[in-house]
Chains A and B, each alone.
Chain A
Amino acid sequence: MASAGSGFSGRAALLLTLAAGLVATVAGCSSADEPEVRDIASSFASSGPQGRCDLLAPATLTSLVQGGESCPEAVQHLPVGSGEVVSVEVWGVDAQVHLTDDTLFLTRDDTGWRVSAAACAPAGKGSYLCQVEAS
């Protein structure tokens, strides 16, 4: 502790550069994905049952057909929104999209962004109860 090395300034500069890079990465990645998230959410909202099923995340799709119905049959009986996109929030590999008549949650996998939850109603204290989601 008493013996900080003479090369400290160089190491400090390296650490600061790494720190700035990490923060810039955090800030940059979220905004870069926003157009794609908006497009997927908009397509989901304007599609028919089969089109919506094609945009669901695999785990959400699996959960939806557990009752024995096909995905399109299950989706058309649920209050999934079809309104315009109002706002988009992207944080890491997760996103939230407010439609005029629903709230969607999306997640990113190797194939791109997919809808992980829909037909979500506010349940107080900022949380949502979703009728379409992975179990």
Chain B
Amino acid sequence: MTAVRSFLKGNGLSLGFGALFLATLVGQALAGVAEFNDQRVSEGLAGVSLARYVTSSSFAVDVMENWQSEYLQFFLYVYATVWLVQRGSPESKELHRVGTETDQEQRVHEHSGEDSPTWARTGGLRTAVFSRSLGLLMGGIFLLTWAGMSVAGWSAFNAEQLAGHEDPVSWLGYLAHPDFWSRTFQNWQSEMLAVGSMAIFAVYLRQRGSPESKPVGAAHADTGQTG
């Protein structure tokens, strides 16, 4: 097997979803500019080019509102699954392991192995940070993209205000406007539904070969198994 094929096989999940992300982003841009121009023509305004649309706040807010909710989902899921369990779900750990677990179970400090990351072995602040790094990163990206959504949404909202011959609003005014919270909650609710339903569906249903599922023959009551 060549080095390239080996690399592709070893990184198929990242590369596959990266390609799907780019393809669907292009699809969103093409459909979005058509919808945007339909709306503008109906208001007696000129349409815009694809290049101008993809650098517009309208496109940016539509992208950002989805990104922020996805990272909120992962952030909450990473943190919630430390403390909340679901009997029989491969998305959950076993019921008696609720909490941050012992150093031995987590293989930190003197319980770390030779293959453990350096920051898991050193102790102190570095181990404390590394022990929470996944949640911190997800939470950080969520906050950044949510802030990005608020700025892009503010700009898109004000463009709509001007197109409708109304005064623009301040950023704080936009944060208090239903448009901001409608965009926020409509995305959050779908993420919570997806996570909650996945956790419970995976108790009783199987997908052979997927690590998101239990082995097909595993009992419904088995918790924390993947296969």
Mark A residues whose CB is within 8 Å of B: 1-5, 7-9, 11-12, 15-16, 19-20, 22-23, 25-27, 29-30, 57-60, 63, 89, 91-96, 105, 107-110, 116-117, 120, 126-130, 133-135
Contacts and interface: CB of A to CB of B under 8 A. Distances in A.
Interface of B: 11, 13-14, 18, 43-46, 48-49, 52, 55-60, 63-64, 67, 74, 77, 90-91, 134, 137, 141, 144-145, 148, 151-152, 155-156, 158-159, 161-169, 195, 198, 211-212, 226
Contacts of A117: 165
Given A2-B91, A92-B155, A92-B159, A23 B60 contact: yes
Given A1-B74, A22-B60, 17 more contacts: A2-B211, A2-B226, A5-B13, A8-B137, A9-B137, A23-B148, A26-B155, A59-B44, A59-B46, A89-B162, A91-B158, A92-B155, A107-B163, A128-B165, A128-B167, A129-B165, A134-B44
B145 A19 contact: yes
A3 B12 CA distance: 13
A2 B90 contact: yes
Contacts of B158: 89, 91-92
B151 A26 contact: yes
Nearest to B57: A26
A5 B165 contact: no
Q: Is the interface of B mostly helix, strand, loop or mixed?
A: helix
- Nearest 8 interchain pairs by C-beta: A134-B44, A109-B46, A59-B44, A92-B159, A94-B162, A126-B167, A91-B158, A22-B60
27 contacts: A1-B195, A5-B11, A15-B145, A16-B141, A22-B64, A23-B60, A23-B148, A27-B155, A59-B45, A91-B158, A91-B159, A92-B158, A94-B163, A95-B162, A96-B167, A96-B168, A105-B162, A107-B45, A107-B163, A109-B46, A116-B44, A116-B45, A126-B167, A127-B166, A128-B167, A130-B165, A134-B45
Given A1-B212, A3-B212, A92-B58, A120 B165 contact: yes
B207 to A, nearest CB: 13
A94 to B, nearest CB: 4
Q: Is the interface of A mostly helix, strand, loop or mixed?
A: mixed
Contacts of A92: 56-58, 155-156, 158-159
A126 B45 contact: no
B46 A107 contact: yes
Nearest to A122: B167
Contacts of B56: 26, 29, 92-93
A127 B162 contact: no
Contacts of A127: 164-167
Contacts of B165: 105, 117, 120, 127-130, 133
A5 B64 CA distance: 22
Contacts of A22: 59-60, 63-64, 148, 152
Contacts of B13: 3, 5
